[in-house]
Amino acid sequence: MKDASFSEADFHEICDRLGQMDHDLGGIIRRHGYPPLWSRREGFATLVHIILEQQVSLASARAALDKLVEKIGAITPQKILALTDEELKACYFSRQKMIYVRDLAAHVMDGRLQLDSFHRLSNEEIHRELTAVKGIGRWTADVYLMMVLHRCDLFPLGDIALVNSMKTVKQLPATTSREALALMANNWQPYRTVAAFLLWHAYIIQRGMTVAAYL
């Protein structure tokens, strides 16, 4: 059974509910307005993009994605598998990320991973499906669940921007552990994804970044 999701119709209502529950989250809305409802297209190309975002800046990942699109047009498993190491390297892929996107492409090509079935699956089922691919861990799966499927209750503590924003907004010591942050985030259930959107929103504005960076 799939987990709950949110939509444009109830997104602001959930933000308001969180703002009433938590003064600090409410402060983000009062100072900066509502966060954007970040949305990415379902499918293979978005997973390639999220893999590119692993452990690098969003700008670097976007540059690699744009270079790949310039090279092959629409990003498909067949086109990825047809590229040589040199061609992927020219698109700013590291050796590891070449391995990851090729394994992802192979999983999609042979039917082990059926992305169009995800809307029927639970979060944990999707985690299991995605983490069977080399290089895809919980962070990558969480981002897909949050930004593509808009599942309500994810909070990826592997995301440095999210962790740093939470520490800033809640005025926590830099040494606060992820275990302690996880316990605090539990107070935002069952809407931890929307709480994360609020915290990302604050992070982006405080650093003068553009919303498009997260698309």
Query: Domain limits at 198?
Result: 8-37+153-214
Do 118 and 198 lie in one domain? The reply is: no
Domain count, the chain: 2
- Is residue 185's pLDDT more than 90? yes
Torsion, Cα 49 54 57 63, to 10 degrees, reads: -30
Please indicate, yes or no, if residue 2 is contained in any of the structural domains: no
Task: Please tell me the predicted confidence (pLDDT) of residue 86.
Answer: 98
Do 108 and 160 lie in one domain? The reply is: no
Mean pLDDT of 30-51: 97
DSSP state of 39: -
Q: What is the CATH number of the domain that holds 29?
A: 1.10.1670.40
**pTM exceeds 0.75 for this model:** yes
| pLDDT tens digits, 116-131 | 999 999 999 999 999 9
Give the end of a domain, one of 119, 147, 175: 147
Please indicate, yes or no, if residue 86 is contained in any of the structural domains: yes
Do 140 and 67 lie in one domain? The reply is: yes
Please indicate, yes or no, if residue 74 is contained in any of the structural domains: yes
Residue for token pair 């602001």: 12
Do 121 and 165 lie in one domain? The reply is: no
Q: Name the helix (H) or strand (E) containing 186.
A: none
d(CA 76, CA 155): 29
Number of H helices, E strands in the chain: 12, 0
Give the end of a domain, one of 147, 173, 195: 147
Task: Please tell me the predicted confidence (pLDDT) of residue 16.
Answer: 98
Q: What is the CATH number of the domain that holds 106?
A: 1.10.340.30
d(CA 142, CA 120): 16
Q: pLDDT category, 187, cuts 50, 70, 90? A: very high
| 1 close to 175: Cβ distance less than 8 angstroms | no
Please indicate, yes or no, if residue 1 is contained in any of the structural domains: no
Do 54 and 134 lie in one domain? The reply is: yes
Give the end of a domain, one of 147, 165, 196: 147
